[in-house]
């Protein structure tokens, strides 16, 4: 009597392997969602968080008129405060290159704002430079 052949395992093609991997990622194999829901709801679009007290004081000090938060003077003052904080952070953490790069970006943004203000109105540029302690 001839020997009976043992059943051969079914060959799995590459396409089928990919489909199985996708199903596992999505959570189809287990009855669990692929991603957990976020704990808190995101802020509605267009709603900015409340500024801190320090930020409010800077805005009040440098604003041209009530509610002014976008003038170059206010923006430059806020950037200067951020620069001061980052500089003190970098003095205690000199190897924090990520923050150092952020500092360079903030400094160049302030420089562009002040250059714009200098082109538009020299007197405002000079007064903000004196108030912030910038310049020569």
How many Å apart are CA 103 and CA 120, to the nearest integer?
A: 26
pTM over cut 0.85? no
Give 66-132's CATH code, choosing from 3.10.129.10, 1.10.238.10, 1.10.287.10, 3.40.50.720.
1.10.287.10
pLDDT tens across 60-101, in order?
A: 999 999 989 899 999 999 999 999 999 999 999 999 999 999
The pair of structure tokens assigned to 117 is 């203000």
pLDDT tens across 13-24, in order?
A: 666 666 656 655
113 and 72 Cβ atoms separated by less than 8 Å? yes
């Amino acid at each position: 009597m001839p020997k009976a052949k043992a059943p051969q395992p079914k060959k799995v093609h590459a396409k089928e392997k990919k489909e199985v991997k996708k199903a596992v990622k999505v959570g189809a194999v287990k009855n669990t969602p692929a991603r957990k829901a976020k704990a808190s709801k995101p802020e509605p679009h267009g709603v900015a968080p409340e500024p801190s007290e320090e930020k409010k004081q800077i805005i009040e000090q440098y604003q041209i008129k009530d509610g002014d938060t976008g003038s170059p003077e206010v923006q430059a003052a806020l950037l200067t405060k951020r620069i001061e904080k980052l500089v003190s952070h970098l003095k205690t953490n000199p190897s924090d290159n990520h923050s150092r790069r952020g500092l360079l970006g903030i400094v160049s943004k302030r420089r562009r704002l002040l250059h714009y203000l200098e082109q538009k109105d020299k007197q405002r540029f000079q007064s903000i430079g004196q108030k912030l302690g910038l310049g020569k």
